[in-house]
Chains A and B, each alone.
Chain A
């Protein structure tokens, strides 16, 4: 039953108002208000150059990029075989793999991070085992460093990759694989020359979404990282929690927002507006 334009507007109005007054508006107001504290445009430009060029910010941006790249790589490395297995599994095996993906996916980020802290900590499970077996003589430093951040974030972001890849793999017509095999291609040949190219858009979309989410990450690196693993989102939070330095927080927010939105635009172009994730 087609709706009149007025009817549609009325039904959409509450959502639009919420988006404008509690999301877009506050972001704009925060950015404008914070920059305005600095005075004239020339002063803003001067200050922005000084902050963005400072060592702390440059380091945080480098950390953010490097951690996000590593996490994307590991998520893809683990996610591709898992999605492949999910695509071929039937019955009970399929249900078990789905549970292994979905249960962590919908568990709070803070709980998942805490779980890894229990496992990787100085007195954590891995160290207790290694010490107990006499493999090491003193606890390994598995957390409060880059290693901990990458492990924790890989765990949290893996489901996004698997679900994206699975959607891409499911769309591949199995007859194409049979045809390639029938014409004499080896198993590896079928995979490399037919299956992988046909799922490549999933690989790119999954990598983009994981990278986008990784650069804005806050909880896991803040709890599992060391003093030298400051990421951009943590720096923003610190400027406000510790020093109430709104202008500096606003500058870094602009950097983070611009990168996020540009990558998201590429992602949206790529997937044709379909979103394979709901969270």
Chain B
């Protein structure tokens, strides 16, 4: 099924072109962030760290970094914990309405974020919760939980129930089985889930836009607010930071998966 050489070259060129198109915008932002020019010029004539200095030297941007990290860390812990116990229950228990519940738990992925954001804003504004970071994290957990569930349900499929039975026969309590058998076996999946829960919150714009107010402004919200004024290179530096966080998360995920594949011999 190989076809003529000309055809194969053309096919390859098309794929290379599409992949280049996919990566180019990200590379452009990274390169532009190191520009030494006064405005966005590409390719930059000179290189410097001036946009990073401006970014990190600004109190408002620094606060936004802190807010983003705090909110994403809280979302990560909350979503991973809730998702872990829920995925385990979905795995080991049979009950009526399980399919409906499974579908319902995934709906926050499908419902437009604008709708979720406005609805939560509607109930939080009268309660004075706008700008309260733990509340933003709870709202982010709503959209991060389905991501965690999808990852953990597939990770737990590899946990053999016979190990759990064996542990119980030898006198382990239910909680002990959970902590000493299920958690270690599903650990790579838990790490992946935690990483993607963190990323979901760290990158989220719309819900944060409505709920974070000025006090709790996160990085994506701050980018949103400045993009309405002008497309300045400082945002390229901020964007590069966000891209770097994504790359690090994907790298850790890759290493954990590879490790698991190596140790389990699969």
Contact = CB atoms under 8 A, between A and B. Distances in A.
27 contacts: A3-B92, A4-B93, A9-B89, A12-B101, A14-B85, A15-B86, A19-B145, A26-B119, A27-B111, A30-B118, A30-B122, A82-B19, A106-B246, A107-B246, A108-B205, A109-B203, A110-B203, A110-B205, A118-B236, A178-B1, A181-B1, A215-B112, A218-B114, A246-B122, A264-B107, A277-B109, A278-B151
A118 B32 contact: yes
B22 A158 contact: yes
Contact of A85 (B15, B114, B116, B138): B15
A121 interface: yes
B138 A18 contact: yes
Contact of A14 (B82, B104, B206): B82
Nearest to B109: A279
Given A22-B138, A23-B142, A278-B151, A11 B250 contact: no
Interface in A112-127: 112, 114-119, 121, 123-125
Interface in B145-197: 145-147, 150-151, 161, 164-165, 168, 174, 177, 196
Contacts of A117: 227, 231
Contact of B25 (A110, A155, A264): A155
B113 A123 contact: no
Contacts of B19: 82, 96-97, 100
Contact of B103 (A3, A27, A123, A268): A268
Interface stretch (A42-50, A54-62, A196-204, A249-257): A249-257
Q: Is the interface of B mostly helix, strand, loop or mixed?
A: helix
B134 interface: no
Interface in A27-56: 27, 29-30, 33-34
A18 B118 contact: no
Contacts of A108: 202-205, 220, 239, 242, 246
Contacts of B196: 106, 278-279
Nearest to A237: B114
Interface stretch (B34-42, B47-55, B57-65, B258-266): B34-42
B115 A279 contact: no
Contacts of A34: 122
A109 B239 CA distance: 11
Interface residues of A, number: 86
| 7 closest residue pairs by CB, A with B | A216-B112, A8-B93, A115-B25, A108-B203, A11-B89, A100-B19, A26-B119
Interface in A85-143: 85, 96-97, 99-104, 106-112, 114-119, 121, 123-125, 128
Contact of B243 (A111, A125, A190, A215): A111
Nearest to B23: A100
> By CB atoms of chain B within 10 A, which of A15, A34, A260 has the most?
A15
Contacts of B161: 1
B114 A233 contact: yes
Interface string B228-243: 0001000110010011
A125 B92 CA distance: 55
B28 A14 contact: no
Given A111-B203, A158-B22, 14 more contacts: A25-B123, A29-B119, A30-B119, A33-B122, A100-B19, A106-B249, A108-B204, A119-B24, A119-B28, A187-B1, A217-B112, A218-B114, A253-B118, A278-B151
Interface string A175-205: 0011001000001001000000000000000
Interface string B198-214: 01101111100000000
B47 to A, nearest CB: 17
Contacts of B119: 23, 26-27, 29-30
B150 to A, nearest CB: 5
Nearest to B236: A118
B231 A114 contact: yes
A172 interface: no
A202 B95 CA distance: 31
A5 B105 contact: no
B150 A275 contact: yes
A215 B114 CA distance: 11
A256 B85 CA distance: 33
B251 to A, nearest CB: 11
Contact of B86 (A12, A106, A256, A277): A12
Contacts of B250: 102-103, 106
B177 A1 contact: yes
B64 to A, nearest CB: 12
